[in-house]
Amino acid sequence: MPRIRHTTLACSPGCTVEATLELFGGKWKALILYHLFEDGVLRFGELRRRLPNVTQRMLTNQLRELEADGLVSRTVFPEVPPHVKYALTDLGKTLKPVIQALKTWGDRYAHSVQRNKTGERD
């Protein structure tokens, strides 16, 4: 499904948040970015192993969108067999605090859910 792009970012107070979420929203993009922050440069197969539930087609599409948005760079090495490496661009690296904040929040949330299941108190 084609993504609707904002032509202006002054449409409403939350418009810039919506535009930002469009860049890495969805199930896999934030995880791809997270792994690239952690590991630097990854080959396609390495990303597949880190995201075992993503299909090859979905991973390819998500990487293409991240590349088109200028967040990820793709380098093709003309070898036999050819291989491709993915890395964060300078723009992509600016999302590190956002992705880290999501991870921190998720860790706390998962911990609180686990505590609630076991009946622990703060």
pLDDT given at position 18:
81
pLDDT tens track, the chain, 122 positions? 445 555 655 676 677 888 888 887 878 999 999 999 999 999 999 999 999 999 999 999 999 999 999 999 999 998 888 889 999 999 999 999 999 999 999 999 998 888 887 776 65
- What pLDDT was estimated at residue 6? 55
Quote the tokens at residue 53. 């539930």
Distance CA 83, CA 2 (A): 28
Q: Domain 15-119, what architecture?
A: Orthogonal Bundle (1.10)
Backbone CA torsion sign across 114, 115, 116, 117: positive
Q: Tell me the pTM.
A: 0.81
Where do the domains of the chain lie? 15-119
Give me the DSSP letters along 49-93.
HHSTTS-HHHHHHHHHHHHHTTSEEEEEE--SS-EEEEEE-HHHH
